[in-house]
């Protein structure tokens, strides 16, 4: 566990960080360090330099904005889990953050680091896709990226070289109910499968259904067929079963490892979607 040597920079402002990102070759941005440092210690990553954004105050914090809640990229999972604003505006996000890794991970790991790393087993990508969050990047011209466009491939995002994820804006869940279910890997605690569900009911029927699934494919995906099968339908056991049966449509080329094969992950996603729907349908009654 001994990393190769590297230079270390600690910018105080986003502008300083962006300047370093432009100027230092083969550098990596260090946030909470929970993915990058282990990779460096195993020599799976050997950046020439680290740009530690950990002291940039403007990247940290949670505030209510008119279209939801804005969360600085450096905000820790623990801060999100315990934030009154998040819990009021978007409780499912607070619940999700509260169940990431363990206490030490939640105290150090950051939302921006997790999203920019885009691990398929991470929880935030699935939730951001579910909630239709907007990710804001600086560098070049500041721009907003919709969650559905942000996750491109395994460990690959829409961020361009020189761009830094600065904040995430999550819309309020409002009258909708949402839940995130996770099948934890027994060793790593990452999501083998994570299912995010958001439903809104009107006159006893599903008026809005969103299902997002992480852990199974290289990026989280929406189970569009299942969503369509439920929209406008009553939350009956039968309708839920029909929807669950088409969850797999969205899960092409599933990932597998020694713990869970791709096929089993698809099965878990199906069962967990059914359970999430049953849970929220029950609550809505």
Partner 1 sequence: MASRILGSAIKRREDPRLITGQARYTDDFVLPGMVYMSVVRSPYAHARIRGIDSSRAAAMPGVLGVFTGQQMKDAGFGPIPCAWVVPASDTKTPPYPPIAIDTVRYVGNAVAIVVAQDRYQARDAVEAVEVDYDPLPVTVDAFKATQKGAPQLHADVASNVCFHWKVSGGDVEAAFRDADVIVKDHIINQRLIPNAMEPRAALAQFSSASGEVTLWSTTQNPHIERFLLSIDTGTPEHKIRVIAPEVGGGFGSKLPHYPEAAMTIFASKMVNRPVKWTETRSENYHSTTHGRDHIQDVEIAAMKDGTITGLRARVWANLGAYLSTAAPGIPTILHGLMLSGVYTIPNIHEDVFGVFSNTTPVDAYRGAGRPEAVFMVETMVDRLARELKLDPVDVRRKNLIPPFQDGYTVATGLVYDSGNYEGALTKALQMADYPKLRLEQAEARKKGQYLGIGVCTYAEICGLGPSQVAGAVGFGGGLWESAIVRFHPSGKVHVMVGISPHGQGEETTFAQIVANELGVGVDDVEIMHGDTDQTPMGWGTYGSRSTAVGSGALMGAIKKIKEKATLITAHLLEAAPEDIDYADGKFFVKGSPDKFKTIQDVALMANVAWNMPKGVEPGLETSSFFDPPNFVYPFGAHIALVEVDVETGEVALKRYVAVDDCGKVINPMIVEGQIHGGIAQGVGQALYEGAVYDDQGQLLTGSMMDYAVPKAENFPNFELGMTETLTNVNPLGVKGIGETGTIASTPAVYNAVADALAPLGVKTLNMPLTPERVWRAIQEARS
236 vs 261, beta carbon nearer partner 1 = 261
Torsion sign, CA atoms 92, 98, 99, 105: positive
43 vs 55, beta carbon nearer partner 1 = 43
Q: Does 183 bind partner 1 (CB under 8 A)?
A: yes
Q: Does 234 bind partner 1 (CB under 8 A)?
A: no
Instruction: Give CA–CA dist 9/16, Å, rounded.
Output: 10
Q: Does 44 bind partner 1 (CB under 8 A)?
A: no
Instruction: Give CA–CA dist 24/67, Å, rounded.
Output: 36
Instruction: Give CA–CA dist 30/51, Å, rounded.
Output: 6
Q: Does 4 bind partner 1 (CB under 8 A)?
A: yes
Sheet holding 49-52, edge to edge: 7-9, 49-52, 27-30
Question: Could you tell me the smallest distance in angstroms from the CB atom of residue 263 to partner 1?
Answer: 9
Q: Does 253 bind partner 1 (CB under 8 A)?
A: no
Beta bridge partners of 194: 182, 214
Q: Determine which residue in the list 82, 132, 267, 284 makes contact with partner 1, applying CB under 8 A.
A: 267
5 vs 253, beta carbon nearer partner 1 = 5
Q: Determine which residue in the list 146, 241, 257, 283 makes contact with partner 1, applying CB under 8 A.
A: 257
Instruction: Give CA–CA dist 205/284, Å, rounded.
Output: 10
Tokens 């040597």 found at: 5
Phi/psi at 47 (5° precision): -65, 150
Q: Which stretch binds partner 1 (CB under 8 A): 92-100, 110-118, 216-224, 255-263?
A: 255-263
Q: Does 188 bind partner 1 (CB under 8 A)?
A: yes
Question: Could you tell me the smallest distance in angstroms from the CB atom of residue 67 to partner 1?
Answer: 37
Under 8 Å CB-to-CB from 110, ≥6 apart: which residues? 31, 32, 73, 74, 75, 76, 77
Which residues are at the interface with partner 1 (CB under 8 A)? 1-5, 42-43, 183, 185-188, 257-261, 264, 267-268, 271-272
């Amino acid at each position: 566990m001994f990393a190769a040597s590297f230079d270390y920079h600690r910018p105080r402002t986003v502008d300083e960080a962006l300047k370093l990102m432009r100027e230092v070759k083969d550098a990596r941005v260090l946030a909470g360090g929970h993915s990058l440092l282990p990779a460096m210690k195993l020599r799976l990553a050997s950046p020439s330099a680290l740009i530690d954004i950990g002291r940039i105050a403007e990247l940290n914090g949670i505030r209510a904005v008119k279209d939801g809640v804005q969360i600085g990229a450096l905000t820790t999972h623990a801060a999100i889990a315990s934030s009154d604003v998040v819990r009021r505006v978007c409780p499912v996000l607070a619940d999700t953050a509260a169940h990431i890794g363990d206490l030490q991970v939640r105290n150090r790991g950051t939302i921006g680091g997790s999203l920019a790393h885009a691990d398929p087993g991470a929880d935030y990508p699935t939730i951001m896709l579910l909630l239709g969050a907007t990710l804001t990047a600086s560098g070049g011209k500041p721009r907003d990226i919709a969650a559905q466009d942000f996750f491109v491939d395994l460990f690959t995002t829409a961020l361009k070289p020189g761009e830094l994820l600065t904040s995430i804006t999550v819309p309020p869940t409002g009258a909708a109910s949402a839940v995130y279910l996770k099948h934890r890997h027994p060793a790593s605690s990452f999501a083998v499968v994570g299912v995010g569900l958001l439903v809104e009911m009107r006159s006893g029927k599903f008026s809005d259904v969103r299902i997002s699934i992480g852990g199974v494919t290289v990026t989280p995906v929406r189970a569009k067929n299942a969503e369509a099968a439920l929209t406008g339908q009553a939350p009956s056991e039968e309708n839920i079963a029909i929807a669950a049966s088409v969850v797999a449509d969205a899960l092409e080329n599933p990932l597998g490892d020694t713990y869970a094969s791709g096929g089993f992950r698809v099965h878990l996603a199906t069962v967990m979607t059914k359970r999430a729907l049953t849970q929220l349908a029950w609550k809505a009654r």
